[in-house]
Amino acid sequence: MAEEIVYYCQECDEKITIEQLASLDAGKCPKCGSIEGFSTFPKDSTNGFKDDAVILNEAIFLED
């Protein structure tokens, strides 16, 4: 069974699935309403933003 990818709000650290991410209203976090973006690492992660981190924000969803 494949492991589900989860993303973390970079403002409040709310965890969401890829399916929830795809249905966000204008890229806003469903918990805090921030458009700070989402990462595959929690905000307080000790490994920070390494090359394999993925950060998503509303600009990605608005591209043509």
Q: Which residue has the higher pLDDT, 63 or 18?
A: 18
User: How much is the pLDDT for 12?
Assistant: 93
Q: Which residue has the higher pLDDT, 41 or 46?
A: 41
User: How much is the pLDDT for 41?
Assistant: 84
Tell me: pLDDT of 50 over 60: no
Q: What is the domain partition of the chain in residue ranges?
A: 6-45+52-62
d(CA 12, CA 29) in angstroms, rounded, equals 9
